[in-house]
Structure 1
Amino acid sequence: MQTAESLAGSHQTLPAAMAIVFNALVWGVSWWPLRELQAHGLHPLWATALMYLMIVTVVLALRFRAIDGFIAHPQLWLLGAAAGFTNVGFNWAVTVGDVVRVVLLFYLMPAWSVIVAWVMLGQRPTAGSLLRLVLAMAGVLVVLKAPDSPWPIPQGAADWLALMGGLGFAVTNALLYKFGHTPSASRMLAMFGGSGLMAALVAGVGMTQQAIPAPSMALAGVPVLLGLSLAFMASNSALQFGAARLAVGTTAILMLTEILFASVSSALMGAAELSPRVLAGGSLIVLAAVLAAVASARGR
């Protein structure tokens, strides 16, 4: 028979788990509205910049004092830059590449974390972490090995952007750990503001080189942009709610459902190819991520 404490715990765990899955759902299907905005004339980098500008406006309206913590801790600029690279890489990649391939390469994050934690935090890799790194890299080599390529190397801009985004995500997580003493609202402001500024900066440079068109959007794209902004705000709130109530390893495993949502949605809409090679390589990457989550839960 369940005790009152266990029943209370289960009532808290289910909503927290659903919140994490909701966050994964938003990110897993975000490729579609980003592509819709591009079809309406707005490049994904300009869309990212506008979206995060609106989110920052809301954050400041609700928590204006967050800017005081940001000013008091200038190192948060590094966090903003890392979050910016993450969003630039992922949001651009899913609009120009195979969605499943992009998401799998992005989810090299647990493997990158082994190297990043060693360099930035002085956490020497264990035998288990090195095994996970080898598994993930093996999976990447399988995914990257195209039939018409003699070597398993990135095949285009989408591959490089996805890899950059995953590395940026690993650095972001390391900096969140390193700057954990700073106010949470200020860290949120840094991440949202940095994402918007970095997207605008890269888009502006690309525009001067005639590689990215000037920002413009058909009126039909406005609801899509507003809806995506609201979805990202809700998903971030859900992530904070769920992550505060679940073990780190449990959160990490549930976040892997993003791969499922991205794979199913993109395959149904013809934006990805689920070949045996991609599935095999993806299985190794997911296995490495699951093992990293389990090890995190055990403190290893």
Structure 2
Amino acid sequence: MTRPALAVLALALNALVWGLSWWPLRQLDVDGLHPLWTTACVFTLATVVLSFISPSGWVHFKQHPQLWWLMAASGLTNVGFNWAVTTGDVVRVVLLFYLMPTWSLLLAWWLLGERPTRGALTRLGLALMGVVLVLKTPESPWPLPQDLSDLLAILGGFCFALTNIWLLRLQHTSESSRMIAMFSGGALMAVACAVLATLAGVAAWVPHASVTEQMLTWSPWVLGLSAAFLVSNFALQYGAARLSAHTTAMVMMSEVVFASVSSVALGASTLTWRVGLGGGMIVLAALLASQAHTPKDPTP
């Protein structure tokens, strides 16, 4: 198998993991572990593993304090996405999350000084029209977010765009330091949000059964998710380093397909014509945005 083909498969694996992550998250939620606590457990375990694999990654935080911003943005991305995809309609959540290119356009204008082109503004308008269709329902007089999961999905996509901006600004740092920042951010932000949500009565500390019984039920899922997210991140790093930016973005959009097909098949989503048409507009805007990137030569 050629290296480009292997790189595409690696990116598809990353998209598959994230596209199907809603299912184990919901299983744990049914078993009594709130998605915030699930995210905290999964990313804490992954951070410990990464720290053993590459302990030098922590050293760069003192030299590059901006890594703390990457940590916060990445952590809030996972909090928003995992909570939303567990409690909301999976297709709506994933589509709203993939407004990320729209946020990237605005954030790059603000933080990087990259003025948007006429084509970029056209893609922005296309994506926003898609959002209106996705959010609009017969019961809603205005296309506003319907519930917490909609808001979380939009917040997660915004933070994902911010994460990518910080990754661009920190590309001179080591890969290990960026990975540790992203995974430790998932752990830290999830723990903070879980504690606040628990104190507010939104999430429970420990449900009806004993801690020991719950741990036996939760552990296989938590271990599996931690391993899957670690493998998917390594796959993303491998694939993105060997393919052009627009190819990477197009392959990553397959997450929408994996999430939509699996959730509709298992009854976790309802695919209406509005969601289908609006989602198509959002995906098209994202694909057009990916084509606007200047490709790079694959790594030999």
Same fold, TM-score > 0.5, yes or no: yes
Length, aligned pairs only: 290
8 Å Cα contact 1:41-1:218 kept in structure 2: no
Aligned-residue offset at 1:74: 1.4
Residue of 216, 220, 233 corresponding to 1:219:
216
8 Å Cα contact 1:139-1:285 kept in structure 2: yes
Q: Deviations over 1:156-176 (max 9, x none)?
A: 000000000000000000011
Residue of 17, 41, 49 corresponding to 1:50:
41
TM-score, normalization by structure 2 = 0.94
Is 1:260 aligned to residue 260 of structure 2? Answer: no
Residue of 108, 116, 121 corresponding to 2:107:
116
TM-score, normalization by structure 1 = 0.94
Residue of 95, 104, 108 corresponding to 1:104:
95
State, as a whole percentage, how many aligned pairs show the same letter.
52
1:232 counterpart letter in structure 2: F
- Distance in 2 separating the partners of 1:275 and 1:80: 37
1:241 counterpart letter in structure 2: Y
Aligned-residue offset at 1:297: 3.7
Is 1:85 aligned to residue 76 of structure 2? Answer: yes
- Secondary structure at 1:74's aligned position in 2? coil
Q: Deviations over 1:124-167 (max 9, x none)?
A: 11111111111100100000001111111100000000000000
Which residue does 2:287 correspond to in 1? 290
8 Å Cα contact 1:36-1:221 kept in structure 2: no
2:242 counterpart letter in structure 1: R
Q: Deviations over 1:90-146 (max 9, x none)?
A: 000001100000000000000111101011111111111111111100100000001
| Gaps in structure 2 of 5+ consecutive residues | none
Cα root mean square deviation, aligned: 1.2
8 Å Cα contact 2:245-2:295 kept in structure 1: no
8 Å Cα contact 1:141-1:281 kept in structure 2: yes
Following TM superposition, the consecutive aligned residue runs of length 4 or more in structure 1 with deviations greater than 6 angstroms are: none
- Secondary structure at 1:296's aligned position in 2? coil
| Gaps in structure 1 of 5+ consecutive residues | 1-9
8 Å Cα contact 1:37-1:224 kept in structure 2: yes
- Distance in 2 separating the partners of 1:70 and 1:58: 18
